[in-house]
Structure 1
Amino acid sequence: MIKKSGSANWKGGLKDGSGTVSTESGVLDKVNYGFNKRFEGEAGSNPEELIAAAHASCFSMALSMILGEAGLTADDIATSATVSLEQKDGGFAVTKSHLVLEAKVPGASEEDFMKAANAAKEGCPISKLLNAEITLDAKLA
């Protein structure tokens, strides 16, 4: 079993408070987040963008693995994810994660590429974690 950790610290009330988020690796080290950054578009980090980055990176690695199992190696896998936070059932919920992929995979047919991309969408660990609709737009360059 592999375990990774992150941490957060929050001070104050919901709207007037602020927090920091850190990761075990140190890639994030006391990065500020808060209500304005999450709900009002102020520049800075928020939980949803961290989930989006995790989903995009996990999907890309899963796709690389699936392509490799088919004897293919990507020159480039560029993935972005957009996570939707919506008011639902008296609170908020992450309801969607939309992946956009553009990849260069020498020797891959469109059919094989789409099969691999959809398998990665369904099988990557972060997709399995999310209780949300996951959609994908994929383009083989």
Structure 2
Amino acid sequence: MTLDETQIDAQLQVMAERLRAARFARGLRLIDVAGLTGLSEVHLYRLEQGERAPSLRALLVLAAALGLSPADLLDGEESPAERSAPHTGRAVWTGTEKAGSGEMIKGAVRVRYDLARRVNPELIEDTDGTVGSPESLLGMAFAGCFSMALAADLDDAGYPPLRIETFAEVQTESGAGGIALSDIELRCEAAVSGIADAQFQAMAEATKRNCLVARALVAVPARLDARLVAISGD
């Protein structure tokens, strides 16, 4: 049987998830696995993102280091996903689309929105975080998820970050079908000691593609401008 590119990519993602799960279960960082296997942290990171296919030698040494057989990484039944408690949110809209208004609610937080501000975000005068749009909350979600995932990836690689700040710009366009998302730009500044810029850029790009919210927004083009910034006292 010949596998097509889609099937190969799917197999790489399965292996990547199993590698990462096995490492986490053993409390190992990427730098620890690098020491056990002789593989570089960057190579290991790309394997865990499903961006590289391992050589036979790499597969064997990885399986041995993690106390698994090669088949454990490639074959077998998928273990059922564990579902966590659901994340919840609520919205109330009053009136018609054009004349009405609404609130997006999470606990004591209430964000007001309406069509005019959604189509023309420059009309939003938000000094206390109580006026916005679904798109602005979507941008916050992407920025928050990306920042947290990048912090985890950097820490796994042996570069614990001091601070990561990400700004998201969600662009929409209006047409015959209504409002549509056209693209999202993330601008990130990270204070991280010891990491080379090339390695940081590669990790940030991978995180932009693979963090949870990014996978949910796979149909929307996303751009990233990621920069390392100086740490006070360095």
The TM-score normalised by the length of structure 2 is: 0.56
With over 3 angstroms needed to count, the CA separation of the structure-2 counterparts of 1:88 and 1:128, relative to structure 1, is farther
With over 3 angstroms needed to count, the CA separation of the structure-2 counterparts of 1:53 and 1:27, relative to structure 1, is farther
SS at match of 1:13: coil
Moved over 4 A (4+): none
Indicate the residue corresponding to 2:112 in structure 1.
32
114, 117, 121: which one pairs with 2:201? 114
Shift of 1:90: 2.3
SS at match of 1:75: strand
Indicate the residue corresponding to 2:95 in structure 1.
12
182, 185, 190: which one pairs with 1:95? 182
With over 3 angstroms needed to count, the CA separation of the structure-2 counterparts of 1:42 and 1:111, relative to structure 1, is closer
Larger radius of gyration: 2
**Distance between the aligned counterparts of 2:119 and 2:179, measured in 1?**
11
The answer on 1:140 being equivalent to 2:228 is: yes
Shift of 1:5: 1.0
Structure with the bigger percentage of strand:
1
Shift of 1:12: 0.5
**Distance between the aligned counterparts of 2:170 and 2:197, measured in 1?**
27
Give the number of aligned pairs: 138
Alignment of 1:65-80 (within 5 A): 65-80=152-167
% identity of equivalent residues: 36
User: More displaced, 64-73 or 39-48?
Assistant: 39-48
Q: State the superposition RMSD in angstroms.
A: 1.4
Ranked by relative contact order (alpha carbons within 8 Å, sequence separation 6 or more), the top structure is 1
Structure with the bigger percentage of helix:
2
SS at match of 2:161: coil
With over 3 angstroms needed to count, the CA separation of the structure-2 counterparts of 1:63 and 1:8, relative to structure 1, is same
**Distance between the aligned counterparts of 1:11 and 1:74, measured in 2?**
44
**Contact 1:36–1:42 under 8 Å retained in 2:** no
